[in-house]
């Protein structure tokens, strides 16, 4: 999809201030992500209602239309991800593995030699 096609698709919902399609800097091929900035929030909300999960003309798959992530949310998510994957975690591994570590029968077996 070209930037002009993107703007044509979204312009039916309101006045577009800016639009952008992300492209790979080496190949110049679209990365499959675009941004539209509307004049008013209500226009963006209508575009989301009208286009989310719809298949635009010539597209192979439906598109996802949503508000862009807030940069501060992205920072928080990155921080949580960094903490989760940190080697300084007390019990590395998935949460399921951590929960398994403290199952009651394991604790009973360790403490009292009881097997279930």
Q: How much is the pTM?
A: 0.60
- Residue 65 belongs to some domain of the structure: no
47 and 76, same domain (yes or no): no
> 44 and 7: one domain?
yes
- Number of Cβ within 10 Å of residue 18's Cβ equals 9
Question: pLDDT tens string for the chain (116 positions)?
Answer: 889 999 999 999 999 999 999 999 999 898 989 999 999 999 999 999 999 999 998 889 999 999 988 766 656 666 666 555 555 555 555 555 544 444 555 555 555 555 55
pLDDT value of position 67: 92
Per the structure, the complete domain to which residue 83 belongs is given by 71-112
* Segments in the chain forming alpha helices (H): 3-11, 41-51, 71-84, 95-101, 104-112
Does 63 reside within a domain?
Answer: no
In a domain? residue 44: yes
Q: Between vectors from CA 58 to CA 18 and to CA 54, what angle results, nearest 5°? A: 70
How high is the pLDDT of residue 70? Answer: 73
- Does the residue 42 lie in any domain? yes
Q: Is residue 45 part of a domain?
A: yes
- For residue 11, being part of any structural domain is answered with yes
Q: Nearest Cα to 33, choosing from 70, 74, 3, 76?
A: 3
Query: Contact 2/59 with Cβ under 8 angstroms?
Result: no
14 and 46 both lie in a single domain: yes
> Which element (helix H / strand E) includes 18?
strand 16-23
Predicted pLDDT of residue 1: 85
Residues 9 and 47 in one domain: yes
| Residue 92, in any domain of the structure | yes
Count of structural domains within the chain: 2
Specify the CATH number for the domain of residue 12.
3.30.70.330
Domain contains 62: no
């Amino acid at each position: 999809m070209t930037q002009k096609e993107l703007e044509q698709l979204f312009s039916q919902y309101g006045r577009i201030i800016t639009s952008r399609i992300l492209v790979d800097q080496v190949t110049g091929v679209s990365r499959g992500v675009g941004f539209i900035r509307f004049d008013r929030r209500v226009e963006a909300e209508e575009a989301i209602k009208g286009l989310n999960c719809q298949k635009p003309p010539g597209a192979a798959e439906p598109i996802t239309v949503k508000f862009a992530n807030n940069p501060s949310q992205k920072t928080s998510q990155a921080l949580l991800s960094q903490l989760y994957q940190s080697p300084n975690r007390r019990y590395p591994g998935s949460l399921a593995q951590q929960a398994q570590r403290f199952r009651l029968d394991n604790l009973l077996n360790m403490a009292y030699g009881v097997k279930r």
